């Protein structure tokens, strides 16, 4: 596609700005409307790409996911302008964002945590965007630092709604669970994703907790190179309190993040609206301790790790090291 430079006689590819397992992202020019856009090109991988029935299913799922993404209208969600297929390659046309994703911000900061005020602001903006998308019945399923952008004006946007599920179809993600839930990146996966259980909006809250933990402390809640250890950590181990890594983190914010990281969905905030209210209330009052919730439920004891067999072949994927994940 790069050689043609023009998609559907309308989108002229200018500069390659990202590449990953699912394809490429280009800065492009919409010649019909005279504006710059981002074009994400997705291409099926592996032997399935020659399977005609698989390709038909993929196209239909792509159209469905793209329509869902295009229907989302919120300042905290990346705008999808158009989608289609050109010479066998599926593509999404999105607004061109000027800024850095959280993974890149951590890398720019030499893996040191971000300023506390920035972390709280990011948390509040992402909670607001998730509250909106969850009200539309949309669960992201792959929330991670590389999928959250902070623009030059301070606005925070979530990217790639629908791409996680689609990624499983085109061979990008490691596995597709028996319930059809697409895998995320192990460092940011909820226990119910790891177990192959059905997920809902509270899985996104857990992943957000992992993201906030990392940008606030500089390390993920379970910082292991071995995938199995990361997965078992999510399932069985209570994370270290954030203030053990960084004492200036407000107590209220530590409590909120640890609640997001509850092992069961019932132990987390009810929804993103609840999370947003808690952050806004405590931060707005400038209280060092903020809102103190009730006791967290006890975690059931665990002996032999019993994770699904498919997890044994997984790799850790990317932590927030600044590599641009598509």
* Beta-strand relationship, 89-95 and 99-101: unpaired
What is the torsion angle, in degrees rounded to the nearest 10, for the CA atoms of residue 175, residue 131, residue 162 and residue 80?
-160
Which has the closest alpha carbon to 40: 55, 64, 23? Answer: 23
Q: Round to whole Å and give the CA distance between 305 and 73.
A: 42
Distance CA 317, CA 275 (A): 28
Decide if 143 contacts 18 (C-beta within 8 A).
Answer: no
Respond yes or no: is residue 30 known to be catalytic. no
Tell me the DSSP string of 268-294: S-SSHHHHHHHHHHHHHHT-SS-----
Sheet with 99-101: list strands edge to edge.
99-101, 148-151, 156-158
Count how many residues are written for the chain. Answer: 326
33 exposure class (CB count in 10 Å sphere: 0-12, 13-18, 19+): exposed
H-helix or E-strand spanning residue 91: strand 89-95
Q: Check 82, 128, 142, 259 and give the catalytic one.
A: 142
CA 159/CA 172 separation, integer angstroms: 17
> What distance in Å separates the CA atoms of residue 313 and residue 297, rounded to the nearest whole number?
32
Residues known to be catalytic: 142
């Amino acid at each position: 596609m790069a050689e043609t430079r023009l998609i559907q006689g309308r989108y002229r590819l200018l500069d390659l700005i990202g590449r990953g397992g699912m394809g490429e992202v280009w800065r492009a020019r919409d010649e019909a409307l005279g504006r710059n856009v981002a074009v994400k090109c997705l291409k099926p991988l592996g032997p399935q790409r020659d399977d005609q029935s698989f390709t038909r299913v993929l196209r239909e799922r792509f159209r469905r996911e793209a329509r869902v993404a295009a229907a989302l209208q919120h300042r905290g969600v990346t705008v999808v302008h158009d989608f289609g297929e050109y010479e066998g390659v599926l593509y999404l046309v999105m607004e061109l964002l000027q800024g850095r994703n959280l993974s890149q911000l951590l890398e720019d900061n030499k893996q040191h945590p971000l300023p506390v005020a920035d972390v709280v602001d990011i948390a509040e903006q992402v909670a607001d965007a998730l509250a909106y998308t969850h009200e539309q019945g949309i669960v992201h399923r792959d929330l991670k630092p590389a999928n959250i952008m902070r623009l030059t004006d301070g606005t925070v946007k979530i990217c790639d709604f629908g791409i996680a599920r689609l990624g499983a179809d085109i061979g990008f993600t490691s596995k597709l669970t028996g319930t059809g839930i697409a895998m995320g990146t192990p460092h940011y996966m909820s226990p119910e994703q790891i177990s192959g259980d059905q997920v809902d909006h509270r899985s996104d809250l857990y992943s957000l907790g992992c993201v906030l933990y990392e940008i606030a402390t500089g390390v993920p809640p379970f910082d292991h190179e071995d995938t199995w250890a990361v997965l078992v950590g999510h399932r069985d181990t209570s994370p270290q309190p954030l203030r053990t890594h960084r004492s200036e983190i407000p107590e209220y914010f530590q409590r909120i993040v640890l609640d997001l990281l509850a092992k069961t969905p019932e132990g987390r905030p009810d929804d993103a609206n609840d999370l947003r209210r808690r952050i806004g209330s405590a931060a707005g009052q400038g209280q060092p301790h903020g809102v103190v919730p009730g006791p967290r439920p006890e975690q059931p004891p665990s002996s032999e790790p019993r994770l699904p067999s498919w997890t044994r072949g997984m790799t850790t994927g990317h932590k927030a090291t600044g590599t641009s994940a598509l």
